Amino acid sequence: MPEVRGQLPEACSCGLEERFKSFFQLESLGIYDSGVSDNREETELMMQRFEGGLELLKGRYFADLLWKSEFDTRLLGSNFTVALKRLESLIPKLEKNKWLHQCYDSVLKEQLDLGVIEPCNLNDQNQNSYYMPHRPVVKEGSETTKVRIVFDASSKQGNFYSLNGCLMPGPNLNPSILDLLINFRKHKIAFSADIEKAFLQIGIKENERDFLRFLYLDKNNDNELKCFRMTRVPFGVTCSPFILAATIKHHIKKFKGNSEVHEMLDSSVYVDDLFYGGDSLEKAHQLSTDAVNVFREAGMNLRKFQTNSTELIKIWVENNVTSETENDNRKILGLIWNVNTDTLKLEIDSLLEMIPNLKCTKRHILKTVAKIFDPVGFISPFVIRVKCLLQQLWELGLDFDDAVPQRVRQNWLEWCAKVETLKSFSLKRTLFSNYDVDEMEIHVFADSSTKAYGAVAYIRHKRTFEVQFVLSKTRVAPVKKLTLPRLELLGALIAARIANYLKSLLRISACDTYCWTDSSIALNWIKGSAIRWKQFVANRVREIQTLTDPGKWKFCEGRENPADLLSRGCSAQKLLNSEIWWSGARWLSQPKYLWPATVERKIPEEITELKGVKTVVQNITVQKPEHPFHCLFNKCSSWSKVVRVAAWCLRFIKNLQKTNDKTKTFLLTSEFEEAQNVILKYFQEEAFHEEIQRLKINKPIKTHSKLLAF
């Protein structure tokens, strides 16, 4: 599928654009850097600025709004007229729904009683004020807050700026969803909780509250127009998520002395939810209690605890910790966790509700793809089918509302009909009953077809040989056709990125990280020196060798490669029944000596992608025996090791030429420098042989030479 850049065409609605952007961001987790911020230094400066204005008063934090540095109050209109018109439009809608109207009034009354909002003088129309329109958001699945009041701080009057236009959103401080989901599977006993009305627990400083005004009608006083203002962080203001996350980050810094608690809260809080656990009942109870106490010191109530352990629930009840036992299913980061069976499921009900109303157009297929939430890649082999369909539509150049060709229509309808099969999907949450990082291995399998490529990863227990699915990622093959070996190399690159990501996240040693491919050609490229190959291959081999140890790349037969499913796609039923997809190649569950041996295979010369291969007139390829330096690069994992081995070899040669006074000390700096120069001269001679020969006889370099730029 072509890379999505900028915005989708105007025919595509804003909401769809945002969902599609979010879909591809989730697809990229684990294979592209998705750090807290693209610019760590900028994030640190933003945090310093925010923390400079943050105050803890009587057990509650008070923060400033995150104004742009060039903010001028004269640019911000009061927005009073727009807010009033929006209120006049809202009231009739509320009056048509008595339940909603009653809930809306109850929320405002409760917030007034709690000091979340406060009345203000309607006649005080000073320049430093802004009125926010508001509306109800109904959360059907919520057991506590059914109706939430959300403000529109992007509303503006005339040519003036909106409030959001004058504020910065701030960097995203939340951990990666993928990090959280994978880490959540490590614990034998897991628990989750959320902060009660988290945004409303952080105060806004009094001098900034007039920018958070809103209007409402007083039913008890002949619908008199009343003015209120928020005293806490409101929903709908662009910097609100940052204020919440930054306040929590600031607060938990105080607990660095307790490294275990600090690590838990720093890495496992997403917005207002906590997901963590322990490998024993005692540890899980201690950590959950510590979390409650830490947030209590910030004026926040951690509640709605859930766990897969009935023993832990009993302890919570005895210690007055608020837990939920009525509902077995808990939504965690878009997935469903059944605490009774301790399994994870996909949330597909919203997708199933949408499918009957879909039309066979590019727009509706795009909506479907954007609706899929599977950041871990549980169902990648099934999803890749509809992603390939979408690519076909892009290649056909159809408008968003054009009917699709019959062939695409048939495949699309077949795919939709099989979605319901996924309702029976469930996966054991725990990776292993006893997760010990020293006992773990990572195995990543790569594969490609002419339609798609990708990789799937597993965790293997070295002692019990138990294997668990961890992660998969797929990509549709580029529109510009590539040879199958090059596509296999792209699959290997995805595998290398996944291996590096998991190695870092799970803190597993590089020596316990293996990558597998069924492509002898790609394996030959990876184990060779990147400098030998043409640019496309060389660039990707260089990255693969940086992220992984080439010596840990192995060959497996295609029929034993679980990644074959994601490169070709399969039906939902076949996927759910596939033992190789959920448990990896069968020999992974056996001792290491039964693993397939990697046998060197002769690669056809026409697809080796060697640079500078010379041929005679008869078209017979003449290839020199491999130079020792190439052997060094194949066997050594770092430049310093190559130089050190070469230096010892050069000393050995010199000592052979001497009858006495042979050098026997440690390697000298001069010997390292000499070895480095010899290696560089050799590869310069290999890469630029023709240019060097022409320069030696005082002839100019040819115009196509890469050296001409220098």
Q: Mind listing the pLDDT tens digit for each residue in 426-456?
A: 999 998 877 788 889 999 999 999 999 999 9
Give residue-wise pLDDT tens across range 412-428: 999 999 999 999 999 99
d(CA 226, CA 280): 55
What is the number of other CB atoms lying within 10 angstroms of the CB of residue 489? 29
Residue 8 has pLDDT above 60, yes or no: no
What does the alpha-carbon distance between residue 427 and residue 344 come to, in Å, rounded to a whole number?
A: 5
* Contact status, residue 459 vs residue 441, Cβ threshold 8 Å: yes
Cα separations in angstroms, 546 against 384, 394, 487: 28, 35, 19
Q: How far apart are CA 305 and CA 317, in angstroms?
A: 11
Residue 220 has pLDDT above 80, yes or no: no
Give me the mean pLDDT over the 600-624 stretch.
53
Residue 538 — pLDDT band, cuts 50, 70, 90? very high
pLDDT of residue 265: 95
Radius of gyration of the chain (CA): 31
Cβ atoms within 10 Å, residue 135: 17
Mean pLDDT of 232-260: 95
Q: State pLDDT tens for residues 595-606.
A: 988 666 666 655
CB contact at 8 A, 219 and 98: no
Could you give the C-alpha distances from 596 to 76, 135, 458, 460, 591, in angstroms and in order? 68, 62, 17, 16, 11
> Please, what is the Cα angle at 82 between 80 and 88, to 5 degrees?
100
- pLDDT, residue 136, reads 94
Cβ contact 426:338 at 8 Å = yes
The answer to whether the beta carbons of residues 569 and 534 sit under 8 Å apart is no
Tally DSSP H helices, then E strands, for the chain. 24, 23
196: tokens are 């009660």
Integer Cα distance of 655 and 664 in angstroms: 9
Q: For the beta carbon of residue 167, count every other beta carbon within 10 angstroms.
A: 22
CA dihedral sign, ordered 289, 292, 298, 299: negative
Report the pLDDT value the prediction gives residue 680, as an integer from 0 to 100.
Answer: 85
Distance CA 173, CA 402 (A): 41
On whether the CB atoms of residues 466 and 460 are closer than 8 A, the answer is: yes
Contacts 24+ apart (CB under 8 A), 635-638: 635/551, 637/549, 637/550, 637/551
The segment with the largest mean pLDDT, out of 18-22, 614-618, 675-679, is 675-679
End-to-end CA distance of the chain: 37
Give bridge partners of residue 414 from the DSSP assignment.
Answer: none
Asked if 81 and 157 count as a contact pair (C-beta separation under 8 A), the reply is: yes
What's the mean pLDDT in 619-642?
Answer: 64
pLDDT digits (tens, 9 = 90+) for 344-368: 999 999 889 888 888 888 888 888 8
Query: Helices (DSSP H) in 397-530: which residue ranges?
Result: 406-418, 484-506, 520-527
Contact 385, 369 (CB under 8 A): no
Average pLDDT estimate for 203-209:
96
| DSSP helix/strand/coil, 349 | helix
Cβ of 462: how many Cβ atoms within 10 Å? 14
SS3 465: coil
Q: Is the pLDDT of residue 512 over 60?
A: yes
The shares of helix, strand and coil residues in the chain, as percent rounded to the nearest 5, are 50, 15, 35
Token code pair at residue 406 = 């019959």
Q: Provide the pLDDT confidence category of residue 53 given band limits of 50, 70 and 90.
A: very high
In this structure, are residues 565 and 579 in contact, taking their beta carbons and an 8 Å threshold? no
pLDDT for the residue 671 = 82
Return the domain boundaries, the chain: 37-340, 348-621, 628-697
- For 11-30, write each residue's pLDDT tens digit: 334 455 565 556 556 666 77
**What CATH superfamily is the domain 37-340?**
HIV Type 1 Reverse Transcriptase, subunit A, domain 1 (3.10.10.10)
Residue type, 411: N
Q: Which of 607, 562, 623 is nearest to 589 (CA)?
A: 562
CA distance linking residue 304 with residue 272, whole number of Å: 12
CA distances from 414 to 40, 366, 382, 393, 572 (A): 46, 16, 12, 17, 11
- Helix, strand, or coil (residue 313): helix
CA 287 to chain centre: 26
The encoded tokens of residue 72 equal 């001028």
Spatial neighbors of 159 by CB under 8 A, at least 6 apart, are: none
The answer to which of 69-73, 459-463, 550-554, 555-559 has the lowest mean pLDDT is 69-73
Tokens found for residue 91: 């009231």
Among residues 255, 199, 297, 247, the alpha carbon closest in space to that of 54 is found at 247
Crossing angle of helices 362-371/14-28, nearest 10°?
50
What percent of the chain clears pLDDT 90, i.e. is strictly above it? 58
So what's the pLDDT on residue 692? Answer: 76
- Rounded to whole angstroms, the Cα distance separating 278 from 663 reads 58
- Asked whether residue 570 carries a pLDDT value surpassing 50, the answer given is yes
Half-sphere exposure of 296 (CA within 13 A, CB side): 8
Mean pLDDT across the chain, nearest whole number? 86
Enter the tokens of residue 77.
Answer: 């209109």
- pTM for this predicted structure: 0.78
